Amino acid sequence: MSRPELTAPAEYFYDAAEAKKYTASSRVIEIQERLTERALELLNFPRDDVPRFLLDVGCGSGLSGDRLTELGHHWVGVDISRGMLNHAVEREVEGDVFESDIGHGVPFRPGVFDGCVSISAIQWLCNADKSEHDPRKRLKAFFSQTYRCLKRGAKCAFQFYPENARQAEMIASSALRVGFSGGLVVDYPNSTRAKKYFLVLAAGPPDSMPTAKTDEANDYANAKQDVVGRGGGKNKFKHNNNNNSEFGLGVKKKRKGDKHARTIYVGSKSHPEGKGKAWVMKKKKQMRNRGVQVANDSKYTGRKRKERF
């Protein structure tokens, strides 16, 4: 199963039929609830039973919002999929939802939210679905306006599925450049199934980073697939122990026959239909914009290979 963000733009992938199927899945509901609870835990609100006003980025059909409501908070959700939002309205969720592309920012007044959560959404900003899309500019617009609409010192917890280490660093560094403090928290880093990535940020001075979970016996480990939720599919991004990345991330090196390697080659071998060198170069540029490592250009790029016996 491929990652949805590499299949089609979110507004088309999550149509009415997909929204209904997604929301009806008991497994998806359970995992969305757990991830939302963990995101709230990372926000670290005082235990004073005071309801908070939260922004839910990529709210979809309101599954994460349902859990926020159950835990006593008020929320506003934003999503680009009209199919998902229509289903949220049909379900009569407690929060207000509206349609918007977060790559253009979040249009709210300054300092209105006590915090922000997001479950499996911000990796979509790394896509270049249209010719005018620049992932770095979209990330900057999103994080800068999110920072603006938060109260001073408010926190964000963005759960997401990075495709590789470079993409994770691009997302995290984009947030830090606009004024956020914080970084990545990786729960269960040594587990393939249970591993979850959270970008935990504060709109203000640096705060102490929360501790990642390491007990693989946790409920996350009961997931039946490597990656679940709106990230979809199996996550082929893995860590290695030999890395010196700023965020402690590494990419597994490509080996012959290794199905989990993330070095992607785009050329006549992958596209035997022969769409031409210009098409191949365009695709390679799109992949680089997403933060994916592709083969270097050469005189052989886009050249049709001879058939072999």
Which 8-state DSSP code applies to residue 264?
Answer: B
Percent of the chain topping pLDDT 90: 46
The 3-state DSSP composition of the chain as helix, strand, coil percent (nearest 5) reads 35, 15, 50
CB atoms within 10 A of CB 236: 16
pLDDT value at 231 more than 50: no
Report the pLDDT value the prediction gives residue 272, as an integer from 0 to 100.
41
Tens digits of residue pLDDT in 67-105:
999 999 999 999 999 888 999 999 999 999 989 999 999
Instruction: Burial-class residue 247 by CB neighbours within 10 Å (0-12, 13-18, 19+).
Output: middle
pLDDT tens per residue, range 144-190: 999 999 999 999 999 999 988 999 999 999 999 999 999 999 999 98
Contacts of 39 (CB under 8 A, 6+ apart): 64, 117, 118, 119, 157, 158, 159, 198
Q: In this predicted model, which residue has the larger pLDDT, 14 or 262? A: 14
**Number of residues assigned to the chain:** 309
Q: Is 20 helix (H, G, I), strand (E, B) or coil?
A: helix
Q: Beta strands 196-202 and 181-187: pairing type?
A: antiparallel
- Per-residue pLDDT at 208: 73
pTM of the model: 0.69
User: Model confidence over 295-308: pLDDT tens digits?
Assistant: 888 877 877 766 65
**Structural domains of the chain ordered from first start:** 4-228 (3.40.50.150)
Residue with tokens 């603006």: 148
Res 201 pLDDT > 80 = yes
